Amino acid sequence: MATRSRRPGAKAALLPVLLTGALALAACSGGGSSSAPASGGGGGAGSKTLVIDTSFDLKTADPGRTYEPTGLIVGKATYETLLTFEGSDVTKPVPALAESFELSKDGKTLTLKLRKDATFADGSPVTADDVVFSLNRVRDMKGTPSFLLDGVEVAKTDDTTVTLTSAKANAALPYILPNPALGILNSKVAKEHGATTDPGDKAEQYLNSASAGSGPYTIESFNVSSQVVLRANAKYWGQAKPAYDKVVIRNVEAATQKLNISRGDSQVALNLSGDQVAGITGGLQVTRTASANVIFLLANRDPSVSKVTSDPKFAEAVRKGVDYAGLLELAGEGSVQAPGVIPSMLLGALPPEAAAGRDVEGAKAALKESGLVNPTVKLEYPSELTVNGLSFQPFAERIQANLKEVGITVDLAPAPVTTALDNYRNGKEELGLWYWGPDYPDPSDYLSFLPGKLVGLRAGWKAGADKELEAAGDKAAAEVGDDARKQAYSDIQTKLNASGPFIPLIQPGQNIVTAASVTGLKFNPVWTVDVADLGVK
């Protein structure tokens, strides 16, 4: 669906980011809502079986093809990547299968030294040849995650060294490599079952039934509509051995997730809204944090689409007219206001104090300066899509009421996701309400909001519309050091907020409930939860 089936604003191949992350994190279930214990053990407190309830956004367990949220949970448990992130911190990549890494001063070459003790589930060593095959397979097979390595050449320097080379500076690459879609395959086993480095690859069926990775868990059974069962890797090479013998990940709608966790039929519930967790009792643990999804408004700059929204002063009036505190109240606990398009946990995010505040008189003044008198606009948004358990309808209604006080009449135009997405992706929405989830946790992913880029074009903002901002984007993309990049992306968002067609609204909360027996849970915006981090009291 969206760029990774999780966001409507993301790459065109994954639907827009709107669906990006959204569908996976959303509370809409695609199937099994059974509340009975999973086969193989119910997993009470202290049990060696862990039951996780989530709303499936799952297509495959093949790391070269997966990019949906549930698939990334499975991939993180069964495959290992060259680099990773610790816990919730996505601002600093750390070694995993690579023991060290170094980015060249020009940002074009990433050199990785491999560990010598890592082994696959069958006991064979992880080699540089496995790394080269796996990454080339992702890039050249042209599956959903192939864009992650667009323009990147992968080569074996020696038996313990691999280099990744980009034609242009690519400081985001260390932040991309932790994605479970770039998990390293046992190339010998994979090739025996049809794996190749071209679109003719036929290994998916095998990889949906067995693991060819080095992760702490292996696949026992896999069903895209009901449940995935993982088994502890008996030959796992790492020091931290899996705490659970079996992990059952079930497809369960949000309301049933709450019921199951409350009565002990599961130990983890991943998709509860702020309202649903508000009444959680009985010694259960609730982890509340902002998700990486950013809900935003766009005011189309194309005069042929709207003579109203194309006036920059109209966007200023909307930005000042929205009641952000009211939207946060609707969103519930764990949600935060979005100061810019880059979410709070990523490098380059604006500080909370940079967020817009409501200024009704300022909004009226901006509208008067535009020359528009009592304008009427149509607000489009997906009617059935939910993000982190939240529907767009209440937000649209609140924005409608907010802007009425300013002198702007908003006609609500909800539509099925497919219809709404067509208008959004084709740049035909006058006023749109959507969300974006990161393709990867690096600020460069948000250059898509600039003129002439993916999301910019969806807002009718063509190349050349703001040459100063476009030049700043080019400069930011070429920066290498974290300090320079942080400043560059902060400056871009400040300018974007001042003169762009986008109004960042909120980051919905990510609410995860666990049994008292479960330890070590940390929300991560890339893979939601690392099963291997979960322990048992």
Q: For the chain, list the domains and their CATH numbers.
A: 80-201 (3.90.76.10), 294-509 (3.10.105.10)
Structure-token match 């030959």, residue found: 235
- Chain centroid to CA 372: how far? 38
Kindly report, residue by residue over 260-317, the tens digit of the pLDDT: 999 999 999 998 888 888 878 888 999 999 999 999 999 999 999 999 999 999 999 9
CA–CA distance, 236 with 214 (Å, rounded to integer): 7
pTM of the model: 0.86
321, 363 Cβ separation under 8 angstroms: yes
Query: What pLDDT score does 281 carry?
Result: 81
Backbone angles phi, psi at 285, to 5 degrees: -100, 135
CA–CA distance, 262 with 35 (Å, rounded to integer): 11
* Residue 437 falls in which region: left (phi positive, over 0), alpha (psi -120 to 50) or beta: beta
The CB density around residue 226, as the number of other CB atoms within 10 Å, is 16
512, 334 Cβ separation under 8 angstroms: no
CA–CA distance, 296 with 283 (Å, rounded to integer): 36
7, 228 Cβ separation under 8 angstroms: no
Cα-based angle 261, 265, 269 (whole degrees, multiple of 5)? 35
Query: What pLDDT score does 273 carry?
Result: 84
3-class secondary-structure state, position 105: coil
Kindly report, residue by residue over 461-500, the tens digit of the pLDDT: 999 999 999 999 999 999 999 999 999 999 999 999 999 9
CA–CA distance, 461 with 532 (Å, rounded to integer): 44
Backbone angles phi, psi at 148, to 5 degrees: -60, -30
62, 204 Cβ separation under 8 angstroms: yes
% the chain with pLDDT above 90: 84
Query: What pLDDT score does 279 carry?
Result: 79
38, 30 Cβ separation under 8 angstroms: no
For β-strands 376-382 and 409-415, DSSP reports them as parallel
Is 6's pLDDT higher than 50? no
Start-end of H helices in 127-192? 128-141, 173-176, 187-192
- Going by C-beta distance under 8 Å and a sequence separation of 6 or more, which residues neighbour residue 139? 146, 148, 149, 150, 152, 154
- Confidence band for 386, pLDDT divided at 50, 70 and 90: confident
Query: What pLDDT score does 14 carry?
Result: 36
- Confidence band for 206, pLDDT divided at 50, 70 and 90: very high
475, 171 Cβ separation under 8 angstroms: no
Query: What pLDDT score does 492 carry?
Result: 98
Kindly report, residue by residue over 216-228, the tens digit of the pLDDT: 999 999 999 999 9
Query: In the chain, how long is the greatest CA-to-CA distance?
Result: 73
CA–CA distance, 163 with 181 (Å, rounded to integer): 19
Amino acid at 145: P
CA–CA distance, 143 with 135 (Å, rounded to integer): 12
Structure-token match 């997966």, residue found: 66
Kindly report, residue by residue over 129-176, the tens digit of the pLDDT: 999 999 999 999 999 999 999 999 999 999 999 999 999 999 999 999
Is 42's pLDDT higher than 60? no
- For residue 163 the two structure tokens come to 């280099």
* Residue 45 falls in which region: left (phi positive, over 0), alpha (psi -120 to 50) or beta: beta
Which residue did the predictor score with more confidence, 239 or 338? 338
Is 13's pLDDT higher than 50? no
Averaged confidence pLDDT in the chain: 91
Segment (H or E) for 333: none
CA–CA distance, 222 with 56 (Å, rounded to integer): 12
CA–CA distance, 60 with 70 (Å, rounded to integer): 9
3-class secondary-structure state, position 140: helix
3-class secondary-structure state, position 396: helix
Query: What pLDDT score does 47 carry?
Result: 46
Cα-trace Rg, the chain:
23
Query: What pLDDT score does 44 carry?
Result: 41
- Chain centroid to CA 533: how far? 20
- Going by C-beta distance under 8 Å and a sequence separation of 6 or more, which residues neighbour residue 323? 358, 398, 402
- What residues does 99 pair with on adjacent strands? none
Closest CA to 508 of 14, 53, 26, 68: 26
CA–CA distance, 382 with 128 (Å, rounded to integer): 45
Kindly report, residue by residue over 310-342, the tens digit of the pLDDT: 999 999 999 999 999 999 999 988 899 999 999
CA–CA distance, 409 with 375 (Å, rounded to integer): 6
To the nearest 10 degrees (0 to 180), the angle between helices 312-321 and 392-404 is: 100
